[in-house]
Structure 1
Amino acid sequence: MASYEVKISSKGQLTLPVELRREWKLEEGDSVEFYHTHDGRVCLRPRNLPASAIFGLLAHLTPDPAYDSDDDAIGAQIVAEDEATKSKGRKPRAA
């Protein structure tokens, strides 16, 4: 994985290396986003694509034939996760 080091100007500006600008197809006026991940890392992502660019991105996925609908699949997953969190051998507390 490539690593790039840049300096921040007195105005708080930085210059993205040309390799990244080319790879991300960034042009003058495009936006990028900095964000923190759950583990404390700082990441940067280009924001130069319109929302329509993601249309069809998941078209290759097919429904699981074990379920009649998405709702059935989601319900089964919730039940499975709930069962997994219950302590074995313990009675539930009274409400």
Structure 2
Amino acid sequence: MATAVITSKGQVTIPIEIRNFLCLGKGDKIDFRIMKKRTIAITPVNCRTSDVFGILSGKTRKKASDSEIKMKMTEHFKKNFK
């Protein structure tokens, strides 16, 4: 179990083990969902298809491999979402 403290501004630092488990980094968004018995669920916000649509457009006429697509998507996310 991880514990955090709420600041006077209502801010909480998410413990590193939780950030690592959810693969969260600077600038990432998370959803809070109220559950039963005074608990909440925290889930990372996934990107929309429209966030990455067209990032390979005009780059090449050849078919991209899975690794090339993954690399381009990673570059795009680092540039636009961090």
How does the TM-score come out when normalised to structure 1?
A: 0.44
Report the alpha carbon displacement of residue 46 of structure 1 after superposing the two structures with TM.
1.4
Query: Greater helix percent: which structure?
Result: 2
Amino acid corresponding to residue 7 of structure 2 in structure 1: S
Going from structure 1 to structure 2, the CA distance change for 1:40 and 1:11 (only over 3 Å counts) comes to closer
Q: Secondary structure at the match of 1:45?
A: strand
How does the TM-score come out when normalised to structure 2?
A: 0.50
Quick one: distance in 1 between partners of 2:39 and 2:20?
24
RMSD: 1.8
1:11-30 matches, within 5 Å, as 11-30=9-28
1:35-54 matches, within 5 Å, as 35-37=33-35, 41-47=39-45, 49-52=46-49
Tell me which stretches of 4 or more aligned residues in structure 1 moved more than 4 Å.
none
Q: Secondary structure at the match of 1:33?
A: strand
Quick one: distance in 1 between partners of 2:29 and 2:42?
10
Q: Secondary structure at the match of 1:23?
A: helix
Identity %: 29
Amino acid corresponding to residue 17 of structure 1 in structure 2: P
Q: Structure 2: any 5+ residue segments left out of the alignment? A: 50-82
Report the alpha carbon displacement of residue 7 of structure 1 after superposing the two structures with TM.
0.3
